[in-house]
Amino acid sequence: MSETVLYEAADGVATLTLNRPDRLNAIGPELIDDLRANLERAWTDAEVRAIRLRGAGRAFCAGYDIQWGSEVMDAESDRPWDPIGDYQFMSRYVDTYMELWRSPKPVIAQVHGYCVGGGTDFALCSDLIVCAEDARIGYPPARVWGSPTTSMWIYRLGLERAKRLLLTGDALDGRRAVEWGLASEVAPPDQLDVTALALARRVAQLPANQLHMMKLLVNQAYEQMGLRVTQLIGTLLDGSARHTPEGVEFTRRALADGVSRAVADRDAPFGDYGQEPKPER
């Protein structure tokens, strides 16, 4: 197994660490495969009753690796775009995020730094979120090149606040995330690890069967609200967003001028309101 996701376990808690710090833990095929494998490892460990998910380095996860994604799109540019092929390709990622949602053992996301684009799916599909005061949580690809595939913004924030973020691409800091009900707790950056681990250990005091029952009780209410259908639409729209004229131009700029320049140009018209994040997708 590669080390794009690290695993350790103690005191009833398995800690999974996204480990591509040089790329701000950007998402690619290897990281997704490693996350799924380590989740299964935690599920089969009878001593583990809760899972903590965090990121190495200065970010939780800066979204999909745009360089990789742009190269995939460029390699397919000589043939017609197949929306169902795109849907099947992206469903592999959505299914992995939803493994956090379906996990029989509760998942606590420990969010610091950037948690943007596809990286928000890791946090929003977890059961609880604990974030640093200076975390930046948002979906800037709503501006160009993306639609939230898991659609969890709607279910976790409701109509007004989900639209407020998705119609602007703006981000929340840690304090606002707690105020809006997106996260359970906020902590100073230097206390985040202790705070999130303490919550995970508190959760882990319950019997494993009781924890699974409580998750099933809450999750099924949201699933009956149409979560599966909304995710189907979100995933199809994500492919469409990447293949609009603006999306294709964004891909061209990322390959020609570099990801940082393409992202900076995309976000420039929005100024520095709320200090929107600039990395990755």
pLDDT at 45: 98
Provide the CATH number for the domain around residue 202: 3.90.226.10
Q: What is the pLDDT averaged over residues 251-272?
A: 93
**SS3 of residue 45 by DSSP:** coil
- Sign for the CA dihedral angle at 196, 202, 150, 79 comes to positive
d(CA 148, CA 203): 29
Would residue 181 count as lying in a domain? yes
Full residue range of the structural domain in which residue 44 is found: 5-275
CA-CA distances (angstroms) from residue 101 to 1, 58, 60, 207?
Answer: 23, 25, 18, 19
pLDDT at 276: 47
Would residue 281 count as lying in a domain? no
Predicted TM-score of the model (pTM): 0.95
Bridge partners (DSSP) listed for residue 136: 114
DSSP 124-183: HTSSEEEEETT-EEE-GGGTTT---SS-HHHHHH-HHHHHHHHTT--EE-HHHHHHTTS-
Split into its structural domains, the chain has a count of 1
Q: What is the pLDDT averaged over residues 256-272?
A: 92
Q: Confidence class of residue 271 from pLDDT cuts 50, 70 and 90? A: confident
> For residue range 197-234, what is the model confidence (pLDDT) as tens digits?
999 999 999 999 999 999 999 999 999 999 999 999 99
Would residue 280 count as lying in a domain? no
Would residue 224 count as lying in a domain? yes
Q: Which residues contact 95 (CB under 8 A, 6 or more apart)?
A: none
